[in-house]
Structure 1
Amino acid sequence: MKQKKVKFAFFLDLEYAYKTLLRNKIRSLLTILGIVIGVGSVIATISIGQGASKAIQNSINSMGSNLLFVLPGSSSLGGIHRGFGMLPTLTLNDAYAIRKLPAVRTDSGMLNTTQQVIWRGNNWATLIDGANSTFTTIRSWSVAKGVFFDRRQVTSVSNVAVIGDTVATKLFGLMNPVGHVVLIHNIPFTVIGVLSAKGFNAFGRDRDDIVVIPITTMLEKIAGTTWVRAIAVSAISDKDTIRAQSEITALLRQRHHIPLHKPNDFFIRNLSEIAKTANSSADTFTILLGSIAAISLLVGGIGIMNIMLVSVTERTKEIGIRMTVGAKKKDILKQFLIESSVLSLFGGLLGVGCGIGLSDMISLLSPLKTIVTTEPVVISLVFSLAVGIFFGFYPAYKASRMNPAEALRYE
């Protein structure tokens, strides 16, 4: 019975607090503005961070976590240091040799450039990627229409091309591009396939804005070089990436006649390590922005304390009357704590709504798809409630310590 009375009294206090706050709607809304901004910013920031992490992970998964990239490495010549990629050190023969290693499933030499692709009156500037016939296997990328070029077409330096979905749409519209001839670098290429759509990557680049041609054709007819910009290597499995990396290092040092005391003239990037680094950076950025946004919650808490102190002063006589008719100090303390808690919790709920709305707007206006999960929402609401209790305690304590006689005389 006593427990029921306590519950009933709590709901009465809650109702009274609600009505009291409604009497000063504008003041109450202005008071919780800091809480709203703080919670909304935290929700939006975390959703952006989680969306970025997910996009990075999806981008990595779409390429294959067992993927390695061999890049031309750093070199020092005549006292001048050149970073990786600055000096041509890799050839197509290196790629063919790497393919024979035990831990390697397949590989592809890579060389790309940007060129105008022309079909009749339409033209489109896009990335031209020179690759081997193993491109689709290494990149986990299927062909939606037609076929991909085979090893024979690579060996014979054929003028064939497989285009991305964006290029197909820009040049051919709703037509099937397969069988049509396009001009690249003023050289005719027959379109033999269209890659399946992949969309934008984590950094906002359209992965479908691409044309893939045989690496031999790229080297001989467009680039006019024997060097490749990179070699993409697919290990047998995720567990074999480290072994493949060691085998590639030993092989290339031998092929490039690098003495033991000299550094490598190539650089190997492990895609899973790149993913970890990118996710770590995204998490750090999210924590930093979230911490800055959380400061607004503290500012909002100070605002609640100030307005509750004003409320205590304005309601001094009311407090005196309540004490005179039997209200205890703990009843007054509880009443004002409930008011500050309701105020901050309402601000938290509004902030959650604003944060989710802002996240949805970011998803609509940018390639990044934000992700709102339950955990930050619950934590934000609990934190906003804690802010209300913490900053509302002093005004509530001050109200509970009033002398009833002096409170009744207050004008």
Structure 2
Amino acid sequence: MGIWQSIKMALRSIKGNKLRSALTMLGMIIGVSSVIILVSIAQGSAQNVTSRINQLGTNLLTINSFGTDIVLSEDKIDGLSKLNGVKAVAPVVQGRVNVKKDRTTSQVSLIGTNAAYSSVRDAKVSQGRFITDLDIEYRQKIAVIGSDTASSYFGTENPVGQYLQIDGTSFKVVGVLVSKGSSLGQSGDNVIIVPLSTGQRLVKSTTISQVYLQGKSEDQMDFVMNEVEMKMASLFPNKSDSYSVTNQQDLMDTMSSVNDTMTMMLGGIASISLLVGGIGIMNIMLVSVSERTKEIGIRKAIGAKRRDVLLQFLIEAVVLSGVGGLIGILTGVGLGKLLSALLNLTVTFTSSIMFSSFLFSLAVGVVFGVFPANKASKLNPIQALRYE
């Protein structure tokens, strides 16, 4: 008997017991859909975290100084910008300032920096322009504001060309930043960016405690970091405890490792339900063998070989798990999209996960179907015909 005929007989047997077959497949449906949903949510979360870290800037190195032991003066920062592999450098002064317009008053984060900050930190403007080198040179009283700051003080009006009172001094708004949301617990939209020289005057300090460096390419970041560390060591010998050099890629690698572990753990937990579904298939197939003992005896008596009987029952188990796996994929994708819409989750579906889940369901069908199929194929035809 050919494989196609065995498949048709298996399907006929499954159709003859629709409710039992549906309940048997339920374990596989739940298992496959659970794997797809949980892994897709984990991958979506990883993608979301990576996206938020990238919002901080690409190919980014950060130098932070502590205390007053070291001074990052303009000439030292200029020396850092000339290192091999460094594309741009943005020194920063930060603080909190009182901002007022009409009757609206609140405290807002202030950043004083240069024109390179736009590319280094991926700070694009949706309206107007960013800070220029001339603004720094002439200590211009201009500001680029975040999208939340713009809506708080100007509502639906265009802020460009209008004025804000920052610590009692009038500043002209020349640009509005594209909304970036929150990254690592900090809002990138409730902020005011001013020229470095103006910012130093507002925070009443010329001390630059933070410098951002952008590398030319991702492949060179380890080399650039080594260059920066060597340069800092030569500029400030025996003061390595007073500053730190951090690589954004290290943070991304750490987060990626955590997310990979979480994805594997969630996938492993969900896979347990696939094994439970496989046990259900084996149980039902054993019951089926007992119910169809006489049928097996008749088939063997008229010439069916052991291989034919083994193949028929094995195909039934694989069909049950395979159909359950396909329905599980559709269910998993549907529920994943529903959860994404209802709970505002980032869910990332990948064909590799779906394909792997389906293959695993087929493998479970084969593994747990072998024992009942083997039992059926070994039945003695005379004893099987006398079975009541």
TM category (shorter chain) comes to: 0.7 to 0.9
Percent identity for Structure 1 against Structure 2: 38
Equivalent-residue separation in structure 1 for 2:59 and 2:39 (angstroms): 29
- How does 1:227-246 map onto structure 2 within 5 Å? 227-238=207-218, 241-246=221-226
How far residue 364 of structure 1 moved from its aligned partner, in angstroms, is: 3.0
Query: Could you say what secondary structure the match of 2:176 adopts?
Result: strand
Letter in 2 for 1:249: E
Residue 169 of structure 2 corresponds to residue 175 of structure 1: no
User: Are 1:140 and 2:119 counterparts?
Assistant: no
Q: Deviations over 1:52-100 (max 9, x none)?
A: 4444554555555432111236xxxxxxxxxxxxx5666552x652233
Matched residue, 1:327 = 304
Work out which of the residue numbers 21, 27, 33 in structure 2 matches 1:40.
33
* C-alpha deviation, 1:242, in angstroms: 4.2
Query: Could you say which residue in structure 1 is the equivalent of 2:195?
Result: 214
Deviation of residue 344 (structure 1)? 0.5
Change (3 A) 1:247 1:393: closer
Deviations 1:175-217 (A, max 9, x none): 211122335566654321012344666x697644543233444
* AA aligned opposite 2:125: V
Q: Are 2:58 and 2:122, in contact at CA under 8 Å, matched by a contact in 1?
A: no
> 21-30 vs 164-173, which deviates more?
164-173
Q: Which residue of 1 aligns with 2:60?
A: 67
Cα 1:239–1:351, aligned 2, differ >3 Å: closer, same or farther? closer
Please tell me whether residue 51 in structure 1 is matched to residue 44 in structure 2. yes
Change (3 A) 1:63 1:90: farther
2:347 aligns with 370
| Distance in 2, Cα, partners of 1:352 & 1:90 | 59
Structure 1's 96 and 352: CA in aligned 2 closer, same or farther, altered over 3 A?
A: farther
Residue of structure 2 aligned with 1:14, choices 1, 7, 19: 7
Indicate whether 1:192 and 2:169 are aligned: no
Gaps of at least 5 residues in structure 1 are 74-86
Letter in 2 for 1:340: A
Structure 1 residue 124 displacement after superposition: 7.7
Change (3 A) 1:176 1:263: closer
Deviation at 1:25, TM superposition (A): 3.1
Q: Which residue of 2 aligns with 1:337?
A: 314
1:395-406 to 2 correspondences below 5 Å: 395-406=372-383
Gaps of 5+ in 2: none
Q: Does structure 2 conserve the Cα–Cα contact (< 8 Å) formed by 1:340 and 1:388?
A: yes
Coordinate RMSD, CA, aligned: 3.3
Which of 279-288 and 125-134 deviates more?
A: 125-134
Greater mean alpha carbon deviation, residues 110-119 or residues 341-350: 110-119
Q: Cα gap change, 1:296/1:171 in structure 2, threshold over 3 Å: closer, same or farther?
A: farther
Aligned counterpart for 1:25 among listed residues 18, 24, 27: 18
1-structure distance, mates of 2:275, 2:27: 8
Moved more, 61-70 or 391-400: 61-70
Q: Please tell me whether residue 278 in structure 1 is matched to residue 273 in structure 2.
A: no
Q: 1:311 to 1:126 in 2, by over 3 A?
A: farther
- Contact persistence 1:90–1:227 (CA under 8 A): no
**Do the aligned partners of 1:204 and 1:367 also contact (CA within 8 Å) in 2?**
no
Distance change in 2, residues 1:169/1:360 (3 Å):
farther
How far apart are 1:136 and its partner, in Å? 0.6
- Separation in structure 1 between the aligned mates of residue 279 and residue 108 of structure 2, nearest angstrom: 55
Aligned length: 385
Does residue 307 (structure 1) correspond to residue 284 (structure 2)? The answer is: yes
Rounded Cα–Cα distance in structure 2 between residues aligned with 1:317 and 1:68: 76
Is 1:382 equivalent to 2:359 in the alignment? yes
Tell me if structure 1 keeps the 8 A contact 2:233–2:240: no
Question: Structure 1's 116 and 406: CA in aligned 2 closer, same or farther, altered over 3 A?
Answer: farther
Q: Amino acid of the residue matched to residue 64 of structure 2?
A: L
* Cα distance in 2, alignment partners of residues 173 and 312 from structure 1: 74
TM-score normalized by structure 2?
A: 0.84
1:307–1:172 CA distance, 2 compared to 1 (3 A): farther
Counterparts in 2 of 1:336 and 1:125: CA distance versus 1, 3 Å? farther
Distance 2:321 2:284 in 1: 12
Structure 1 residues 330 and 120: alpha-carbon distance in aligned structure 2, compared to 1, 3 A threshold: farther
Between stretches 300-309 and 160-169, larger displacement belongs to 160-169
Q: Secondary structure at the match of 2:79?
A: coil
Q: Given that residues 124 and 170 in structure 1 are in contact (C-alpha distance below 8 angstroms), is that contact kept between their aligned partners in structure 2? A: no
In 2, Cα distance between the equivalents of 1:307 and 1:155? 82
